Structure 1
Amino acid sequence: MTTIDPRALRNAFGTFMTGVTVVTSHDADGNPLGFTANSFTSVSLDPPLVLVCLANSSQNYDALTQANGFAVNVLSEGQKDVSNTFARPVEDRFSAVNWTKGPHGSPVFENVSAWFDCSMHQTVPAGDHVILIGKVEAFDTSTAPGLGYSRGAYVTPAAEAEALRRGAKLVVSALISRGDEVLMVDDGLGGVTLPQMPVGAEGATAALTRLIAEAGVPADPGFIYSVFEDGAREHQHISFLCQAGEGAPKQGSFTELSKSTLMDVADPALRIMLERFAGENRLGNYGIYFGDQISGKVRPIMSGS
């Protein structure tokens, strides 16, 4: 019987749970099957349980609900083609990836960020889906950056990281959106701004996590939306687009980005960024800006369709 290290498993969950995944198993004849999933969640560390959701209408419904297990493959940033292949009705999906049988028997992919090979613990009917709960029998992780997917587009760390300049004094802001509104806070000068703070030794991710906690609303840390160098104040500004849940914020308020609201944003670079966001948010089509506070370029995020 394989022993799972809870600390190693917890670290793996914390690193990879937001990535694009492909769930794999075998049918009754031993043929491999799989599909791209966007609902991979940890359930428990003791015992080590994870869950994925499968539509009742899936052609793999019978095979997966009757299988003795499944694997979750967390794709790396260079595997967008694998994600697309397993999201479509392709005849031989597995020809697009190198794979082997995992320790418990389900297909695990090469060059992924992580994989979790699970025995079937329980199946739970849930409306038009069924929840597959698996017990992690074996797993492995790598240093390959994960492939993200947010609001209809793939997001890769490499595309975002190239906009950052090492050694810069960094300021992080949280562009926390809910529908057509954005969380705005008092700038102390009679206007409004985004929640923001200088980045200390803990790094940008920790600063963003702190901003979201201080805002007091549930929000998922999102992708880098804008990076610009502010020459006047000698720092580099990074703004993360985050999606908020329900609830009233502890500070500031959710505000529609009307002309009057934008006029109250004193920082011209932030005002221009928010004007761009207002337009992109209506279309659901986002890009990543990098440049300075005056001019730069917007890199479109590759669509997942």
Structure 2
Amino acid sequence: MAYQGKSYSKQVKEQPKPKKKLRIGRFLLILTAFLVVMSLTGLAGYGFFLERKVVERANATTPLPEDGPVNVLLIGVDRDPDSTEELRKLGMNTDTLIVAHLDPTQKQATLLSIPRDTRVQLPTGMEKINAAYAVGGMDRLKQTVKELTGLGIDRYVMIDFKGFAQAIDAVGGVEFEVDKPLFDPEGTVQLQPGKQVLNGKQALTAVRFRHEQMGDIARVERQQRFVEAYLSKIQSTSVVDWMNSLRKMSASMRTDMSISEMGRLATTLQGEEASFVTHTVPGTFLEVYGISYWKADPEKLREIVSQMKN
């Protein structure tokens, strides 16, 4: 199985690093990586087999294509997914958005990260995409993502970050190269540059930190690096700890996928020929009335989506 690192365009001074490839012998490792990347990976159906009660089957009446590509929207929130409808009415925003494009024919899974500050058209006007859920719920969020990317959403997975932290602790932490001083808003976690083992709370700080010049774009890059670090960790983790990590993550999820659908989608990554690729919506920073946005580059985004589809 091949892992290809980030691919995105940012029209600023910093230059993106070259793509990386990571050979993995077991497809379950990549499925677990789906759990970690932005804390949004409900595609690891095997984790749900352990605790069926965590899956909430919603009104997903349209069947998934038998052998064609499937798009799953991965959503990260900082609240309990079970209370999302109540919180939505109070104006809850999504923290992380990723479209997972799974193509069983090509044996490829592609993740397209959408910066939370991406400027989009909502019924309330031009807003950041992280407000779409608060404006109109899951239907509005899925429609907004489709309008931005051209990718229709077949299923969704929502997870809160508490599950992410618990999953990291379950494997004894993850060794990670911190690139710069990082801290959480409450000041309870402060990380200095250098390679170190991060516990769940520290890892959460690392993947959510965005108080820097590159903002969301730097955060997405850091999250993608964390996936690689987590992959390395679980290769040396006992099966018991690894399965416990899956349980911790799955307990904080909500999805409209059935167990059988998750199991079938998991086979997308089975075998050495399978590949796992990450992209970020390309664009530039834009400031409007003192508010910072990420303005997507439509032409470059179309190129990426075309690559994903083909």
The TM-score range, normalised by the shorter chain, is under 0.3
Give the structure with the higher percent helix: 2
TM-score, length basis structure 1: 0.25
Give the structure with the higher percent strand: 1
TM-score, length basis structure 2: 0.25
Greater gyration radius:
1
